[in-house]
Structure 1
Amino acid sequence: MAGPGPRLLFASDLHGATRAYAALFALARQREACDAVVLGGDLLPHPHDRARLVETQAEYAQDVLRPMLAALATDRPDLPVYAIPGNDDWATVIAALAGWSDTTLSLLVGRAVPLACAPGWWIAGCPYVPVTPFFMSDFDRLDHEGWAPAALPPALVLTEGGAVQVADIEALATRPTVAAELAALAAQSDPARTVYVTHSPPARTNLDVMRGGIHIGSEAVRAFIEAHRPPLTLHGHIHESPHLTGAVQERLGATVSVNAGASLGGLRAVEARLDLEAGTATVRPLFEAP
């Protein structure tokens, strides 16, 4: 068992579920409950109104999420909140979150930063996922060299730079793969003392199963974990996997990997406790009834 150490309160795929955010931040206000909050992507509501693709998320971020984070920062100014976006978040909206100086939010988009509650440790984030069949594509990538998606959406929609634009798979092929993004991330810190937050779970695990029993996680993420052996990796993206497999964690060698599922009907969070001396982690589910 890991000894007493920093506790990370992790949830993913809240998709603008205000009730789940409120429950998560209520837990976070309890000093004995956690030493950092980590959000694993898909932070904002899905924009069902095609006429207001960006506005839906921008308004929620500014009018709902920012005040909630600012109130948390007032109550616990010492509590860092680390976050990555997911494939259902617009890049142009996420970019604005970096300027929220009234919060303790740190965005981990392709970067590693010191883990404030664990001296000598880091936390790093990779929001990119293998191309999905859905139209929101700011954080879609080819998984690795030679990889091709099984299905493509009718159009890929991007918002980088602030303008909504329609692209094709060739545009995504010019960007670094998920594998390349992870390789660049590994160079920023010591993987043995880094917590990695990647929106996509590792392939062929209990964390990446969709209906029909199909595994749709990232081979690049799995290869990264197997090569670098970090103590803890935190994931989301595949909402139904924990329900289908009955598991929120899996061990890949020395690494504990986690997918708590989506917090849409109620908060699904986990407490991950680090043992700084042993370089290990243990995980405990914290589920709110729907």
Structure 2
Amino acid sequence: MISRLFSRGPDTRIFFATDIHGSETCWKKFLNSGKHYEAKVIVLGGDMTGKALVPIVEAGKGNWHATLLENRRDFTTEDEVKEFEDSVRRRGYYPFRTTPDEMAELESDEKLRDKYFHEEMLGTVERWMRMAEEKLAGTGIECYVSPGNDDQFEVDEIIANARGVHLAEGRVVEFGNFQMVSTGWANRTPWDTYREEDEPDLKKRLDEMTSQVTAPPEQTVYNFHCPPHQSGLDDAPEITADMRPKDAGRSTMPVGSTAVREAIEEGQPALALHGHIHEARGNTRIGRTLCINPGSSYEQGQLLGAVVDLDGGKKVKRFVLTSG
């Protein structure tokens, strides 16, 4: 356990995770992370919502069927359906029950599919916020969530209205003697996600946010979802023109943001927390700044993270990458 590994009690210990992409298992583990790692602050750094619906179609006489990852499953009992729904949620998808007629309508109507996805996604975020309120009430643990480039903008309002969870996007927040500024915006991606923009615009956004920080660099944390360019924390599989991994995923290239790198080089915060590139788990330094990307294995229900001790409002004292 981390508290045994770190023999001296820190002034402020934070736990950071990111890119859970709708995995309910990972969300539950995140809510438990503060108690487990004895962290005063827990931070989720972006891309919290899932990417797809999984219809479970009624087949009559109490039977159902569904297809997940091109594998068809047939169910004859309610317990089997519920077990399948739980497995879908663990992988970061949204299960929903439907009829053959409704399914035929969904298959022929893209707008209707988008509507159903939108409702399921937002409903899940609302339920997660209620879970957080119940789990964190009375613990004294501060929870900060910053949506990522894959998260729709309606998510922000739900988080902002939640009790026990703080919306971090675009704000400077304080814990201990530190200030943290956060954003889920990224540079351009091949997938045209919700929160991405050209590098000059991203740099302007970052400058506007970091200009609000009043703490000295050694007491500052940048929680920027996108990692800095050519940092080793941004090496992603190269893709072909038809959006397939090049050389079976063995060929990689840096895809991080030059704007994020410039912001770190200029501001030199004590700590920079990143995600976005699931495969690029690790840490590096840019000048005096410790940069961390804990990576993501959300589809396996595994919560990757980082525990960081901040020493007396002066520096990062120690850190360790975690898996649970």
The interval holding the TM-score normalised by the smaller chain is 0.7 to 0.9
1:92 aligns with 2:154: yes
List runs of 5+ in structure 1 lacking aligned partners.
Answer: 145-176, 243-247
User: 1:125–1:198: 8 Å Cα contact kept in structure 2?
Assistant: yes
Matched residue, 2:210: 186
Q: Are residues 129 and 191 of structure 1, via their aligned partners in 2, closer, same or farther at CA, if it must alter by over 3 Å?
A: farther
Query: Where do residues 135-154 of structure 1 align in structure 2 (5 Å cutoff)?
Result: 135-137=192-194, 139-144=195-200
Cα distance in 2 for partners of 1:47, 1:98 equals 24
RMSD: 2.0
The TM-score with structure 1 as length reference comes to 0.78
1:208 and 2:234 correspond? yes
Pairing 1:1-290 to 2, within 5 Å after superposition: 4-30=10-36, 33-48=38-53, 49-63=113-127, 65-76=128-139, 78-100=140-162, 103-115=163-175, 118-119=176-177, 121-137=178-194, 139-144=195-200, 177-189=201-213, 190=215, 192=217, 193-211=219-237, 212-242=251-281, 248-264=282-298, 265=300, 266-288=302-324
With the length of structure 2 as denominator, give the TM-score of the two structures. 0.70
SS in 1 for 2:166: strand
Pair 82,281 (structure 1): closer, same or farther in 2 beyond 3 Å: farther
| C-alpha separation in 2, matches of 1:181 and 1:263 | 29
Deviations 1:152-178 (A, max 9, x none): xxxxxxxxxxxxxxxxxxxxxxxxx11
1:1-60 CA distance string (max 9 Å, x none):
998331111000011111112222223234x62010000000111245534342232011
For residues 4 and 122 of structure 1, what CA distance do their matches in structure 2 show?
A: 17
1:273 CA displacement:
0.9
What is residue 67 of structure 2 aligned with on the other side?
none
Could you tell me which residue of structure 2 aligns to residue 156 of structure 1?
none
Alpha carbons 1:37, 1:82 under 8 Å: kept = yes
Deviations 1:56-94, CA, capped at 9 Å, x for gaps:
32011112x112211222251x11111111111100122
Structure whose residues are more often helix by fraction: 2
SS, match of residue 269 in structure 1? strand
Q: How many residues align?
A: 242
Q: Report if the CA contact (8 A) 2:129-2:165 is conserved.
A: no
Asked which structure has the greater CA Rg, the reply is 2
Runs of 5+ consecutive residues of structure 2 not aligned to the other structure: 1-5, 54-112, 238-250
Secondary structure of the 2:22 match is: coil
Kindly state the Cα deviation for residue 251 of structure 1 after the two structures are TM-superposed.
0.9
Tell me the distance in 2 between the aligned counterparts of 1:75 and 1:14. Answer: 25
Q: 1:170 is matched with which residue?
A: none
Contact map agreement 2:169 2:183 (CA 8 A) in 1:
yes
Show the counterpart of 2:100. Answer: none
